[in-house]
Chains A and B, each alone.
Chain A
Amino acid sequence: MKKTVTINISGHMFYIDEDAYTRLRAYLDKIETTFRNQESGDEIITDIESRVAEMFNERINRETGVVYIEMVDDVIATMGEPEQFEDGDDSEKKTYTPPTTLLARRSKKRFFRDIDNRVFGGVCAGIANYFNIDLLLVRIISVLLIPFTSGAIILIYAVLWIALPPALTTAQKLEMRGENITINNIEKTIRDEYDEVKKNFSKFKDSPTYKKGENFFHKFSKRDKSTLIIIAVVIGAALLFQMPHFNGIFHAPGAIFTGFTHHVAPTFNHIFFPGALTFVLILLVIGLIFKTVLKVILYVIAFLLLGSLALKVIFWLFGGFLLMC
């Protein structure tokens, strides 16, 4: 048994086997990468696509109406790989080989947020990729830096989150890892991603969480999740206002530099002062009773703590500004 997908090539609909689809997709992606940067590249791509559609029409079995992998291979062989295309104009030879010359020129590493390996914004993963160090190490150091810098690192994280672009396209992902952007690499990455998703999904489907999660998490659309996060931050802020001495923590503008010795004790005392601690405990108990919501509860707690820290940083900045005025 094979799964079939429906595709539309230049206005024509085909039923195509999944394996055939993967191959065709990789091929057309390759064509697109080759011609995208050329003059009238779109037109060339459209022409090739409509010819592919035409060839499928010639080969398709009218009764079943399905495109098989053999047909795709046949069509690709007839059409040829982009490297096989003979180009008649020497002056355009340079644009003809974007995968090796044009793009490799900027194959230097660039700083991106790695949103595939993110916890919040993928900043840590981006740093790990850029400096080629272990992601876990970066995360641990970042978390340790929170008390050391009295929370200022969170602000820096936020700034990086806003400033750094996420690596969205395959080319950007390769650039992030400093790999050359060649067609072969892109093909490889796409195939890797496809396999990964396929593997994860089948694994996920088999796990008991799938059914449970289906019941519960489906109710949580993205918007609901952000609402929860916002509520958490609000609660965090509310708790903060209840705390005694909340002005006293960041009184020194130089907290970033003096760091640990001065500020670690109050920072943590503050958060785990009865109010917050009880709240967190209650949440944890709820989370443990209803295990399906545990993940969400953990998010809430994390945001509660981080939110109050972030607020402190903001107040500290404000205080600093006021002092300067």
Chain B
Amino acid sequence: MNVENVKAQMRKGVLEYCILLILSNNDAYASDIIKQLKEAKMIVVEGTLYPLLTRLKNAKLLSYRWEESTQGPPRKYYALTEEGRTFLSEMDASWNELINAVELIHQTNNTPE
């Protein structure tokens, strides 16, 4: 078992959750999302994001609108849909459960003897 592989798998699982989280406060366009994800070291290459965004949009969790930009071509601004919000709150709940679970296991196994 490769450590990098497992790490990538873990990242994969939460990447969609992170995108929804980023969009929960305000709408953003692809580069903004990429910037935040990169700062958080969630993605290595930018290309990862585009298939994901399209898939989330196809699942109707995201929507987008075109907006003119001062420099370059018009940009796609992504926003959460109602379904996306419901989805996100469910994810929030299960994320907390997960953290609690991991925390609990940590504690029971790492308690000083």
Contacts and interface: CB of A to CB of B under 8 A. Distances in A.
Interface of A: 10-12, 31, 35, 38-40, 43-44, 47-48, 50-51, 53-54, 57, 78-82, 84-89, 92, 96
Q: Majority SS of interface residues in chain B?
A: helix
A11 B44 CA distance: 28
B48 A85 contact: yes
A273 B53 CA distance: 75
23 contacts: A35-B51, A40-B55, A40-B58, A43-B54, A44-B50, A44-B54, A47-B76, A48-B47, A51-B50, A53-B72, A54-B73, A57-B72, A78-B46, A80-B46, A81-B47, A84-B44, A84-B47, A84-B48, A85-B51, A87-B12, A88-B12, A88-B13, A92-B55
Interface in B2-39: 8, 11-13, 15-16, 30-31
A81 B44 CA distance: 11
Nearest to A89: B55
Contacts of B54: 40, 43-44, 47
B50 to A, nearest CB: 5
A270 B78 CA distance: 78
Nearest to B69: A54
A39 B58 contact: yes
A39 B52 CA distance: 11
Contacts of A81: 45, 47
Given A39-B55, A54-B73, A86-B12, 4 more contacts: A54-B72, A80-B47, A84-B45, A84-B48
B18 to A, nearest CB: 10
Contact of B11 (A31, A82, A86, A89): A86
B31 A51 contact: yes
B73 A11 contact: yes
A52 to B, nearest CB: 10
B71 interface: yes
Most chain A CB inside 10 Å of its own CB: which residue of B13, B50, B71: B50
B91 interface: no
Nearest to B55: A89
